Amino acid sequence: MATAKPILYGAWISSCSHRVRIALNLKGVDYEYKAVNPRTDPDYEKINPIKYIPALVDGDFVLSDSLAIILYLEDKYPQHPLVPKDIKTKGLDLQIANIVCSSIQPLQGYGVIVVYMRVG
């Protein structure tokens, strides 16, 4: 029995969405992509109540946050590994990924843009 393709909900402005699309493609996973605007799409809130993007829907499982999605994909699809096996190299790679996710990337996300639009 064939299983449904995972669905990735993302947006053109989201580097997090691009990050997950890159991981899906590097791993060779057949998936469906749906562009959304979490601020204006009422149906997206039903999929992901916190309205963060990206969100991956895999059957009845929904996961948000690009790094969590990528680590999920790494475990589910072990072919074409993205994370090194060496624990020291893996630790450094995860450190870099978290710096990007927590310190750099948020400055261009929807939350900052919405605040800027209201203040500016």
Domain that holds residue 15: 7-119
pLDDT digits (tens, 9 = 90+) for 18-67: 999 999 999 999 999 999 998 888 899 899 988 888 999 999 999 998 99
Task: Tell me, yes or no, whether 2 lies in a domain.
Answer: no
In a domain, 76, yes or no: yes
Q: Is the pLDDT of residue 120 over 80?
A: no
The answer to whether position 65 is within a domain reads: yes
109 inside domain? yes
Dihedral sign from CA coordinates of 7, 78, 27, 65: positive
Choice among 42-46, 81-85, 98-102, 116-120 with the minimum mean pLDDT: 116-120
pTM of the model: 0.80
Query: Does residue 19 belong to any structural domain of this protein?
Result: yes
The CATH number assigned to the domain holding 11 equals 3.40.30.10
10 pLDDT band, cuts 50/70/90, is very high
| Count of domains for the chain | 1
How many alpha carbons lie under 13 Å from residue 114 in its C-beta half-sphere? 8
